[in-house]
Homo-oligomer: A and B are copies of this chain.
Amino acid sequence: MANLTRRAMLGTSGGLIAGGLLKTKADAISFADNESENTIQDQDPTKVLGRLTSEVGQRAPEEQPRRLVRNPNVSHSSSSRTPLHQLQGIITPADLHFERHHAGIPTIAPDQYELLIHGMVDRPMKFTLSDLKRFPSVSKLYFIECSGNGGSSYNKNASREVDPQQMDGLTSTSEWTGVPLSTLLQEVGVQKGATWLMAEGGDAAVMARSIPIEKAWDDAMIGYGQNGEAIRPEQGYPARLLLPGWEGNASVKWIRRIEVKDQPTMTRDETSKYTDPLKDGTARQFSFTIDAKSAITFPAYPYALTEPGWWEIQGIAWSGRGRITKVDISTDGGETWNESKLHGPVLSKCHTRFTYPWNWDGKETLLMSRATDETGYVQPALSTLMEARGEGTSYHYNSIRPWKIEEDGRVYFGQGETS
């Protein structure tokens, strides 16, 4: 943009004092309610010595009224979601990485942890955590997404009052460190004819999934590190399977056993769940790969635009098949599309940040984003996805998410507004 448009985007500096993010009534109220409890700048900070250094840092108390938290529910088969609309960039802080458990978070003593690999192998072996850390390691940035993510979008009459955390918060990106699963399989010696693995977790659900062995020879790993530190308990401490680009459930947490087999196991977790019913009465099973998807995180419900003018549309895009190659934006309900800016690094099977400057004319409209990945796959409209899958499917909801901008600047989920 030229100098003039940048200035236009700001208006006068003073005019924007009330022009920041998080300008819903709810936020304004929560700010006011909490203000007295928080640290207030009552002195010129240049005239008083500041706090000392610390062992472990804390978030600014002034940020806490914004409730930068996950949204846990109270069942043991439960989840809590990453506040996507309150985050920037691609890294998810580990304490805000989404959770999805089938029987709560187990307590596993790291010095008692063992991973058994057996079945069609020459040398069945148990690996301690120290064993796993002794092998050559790999560190890579990957997203993990629950295949049930986006369920509230898969409805032509979806609620208008759903935010990006509630709708798509079951996806997060971390730098994962671990040992390639191929290293461990070479260690135990896989026998001829082996085609599947059965991966079993050490939680009270004994969550188990069948995995084609090709994924192990490709990029699967046993992860023990997350954003530099040990994996957190709710992400699989002390070790988890990690299948980059595949539905999160198959990346079995607290992994304790891998059986090498010549067929899938048809576990409860991949038959009663994580199989996608189709409209002809059949079902998609082993639908592992996360299809390309994008989500606008601003503007989105519950934000409101305080005035017409320049606003930056922001969001993330990802694909289980590789890199995102472009994210198109429509600011007129899908009539016209323009390419957004992708922020590097653009990595395979990793969240990619996109931004797009938009001059809002103050009129009602629909915003949409549409991701394309390196295989040429294009994120579909809801009607296209429903045509292929039927209305009864339970997983892999990657259709375009429209956001309705009303004349007063309020933003709502706009699925009901599309044809």
Contacts and interface: CB of A to CB of B under 8 A. Distances in A.
A238 interface: yes
A18 interface: yes
B90 A175 contact: yes
Given A6-B183, A59-B230, A187-B7, A50 B16 contact: no
B97 A57 contact: yes
Given A20-B128, A56-B96, A6 B186 contact: yes
> What is the oligomeric copy number?
2
A119 interface: no
A291 B45 CA distance: 34
B204 A50 contact: yes
Contacts of A138: 343
A388 interface: no
A308 interface: no
A40 B109 contact: yes
B204 A59 contact: no
Q: Name A's interface SS.
A: loop
Contact of A128 (B17, B79, B109, B312): B17
A13 B80 CA distance: 37
Interface in A36-84: 39-41, 45-60, 62-63, 68-76, 78-80
A254 B45 CA distance: 10
Contacts of A133: 20-21
A233 B57 CA distance: 8
Of the listed residues A50, A73, A101, A105, the one surrounded by the most CB atoms of chain B closer than 10 A to its CB is A50
Contacts of A254: 45
B91 A228 contact: yes
B72 A106 contact: no
A145 B68 CA distance: 28
A209 interface: no
Interface residues of A, number: 120
Contacts of A1: 136
A107 interface: yes
B57 A232 contact: yes
A163 to B, nearest CB: 15
A353 interface: yes
B58 A232 contact: yes
B56 A76 contact: no
B206 A46 contact: yes
Contacts of A39: 107, 109
A314 interface: yes
Contacts of A228: 87-93, 96
A346 to B, nearest CB: 9
Nearest to A100: B53
A136 B54 CA distance: 33
Contact of A70 (B7, B41, B54, B134): B54
A137 B88 contact: yes
Contact of A234 (B47, B54, B110, B343): B54
A282 interface: no
A99 interface: yes
A311 B183 CA distance: 15
Contact of A55 (B45, B55, B80): B80
A53 B79 contact: yes
Given A52-B78, A53-B105, 4 more contacts: A3-B189, A50-B103, A50-B104, A53-B80
Interface of A: 1, 3, 6-7, 9-10, 13-14, 16-21, 39-41, 45-60, 62-63, 68-76, 78-80, 86-97, 99, 101, 103-110, 112, 125-131, 133-141, 174-175, 177, 183, 186-187, 189, 202-204, 206, 225, 227-230, 232-235, 237-238, 254, 310-312, 314, 343-345, 347, 353, 355, 357
In order of increasing CB-CB distance, the 6 nearest A-B pairs are A20-B130, A50-B104, A45-B106, A41-B109, A55-B69, A53-B72
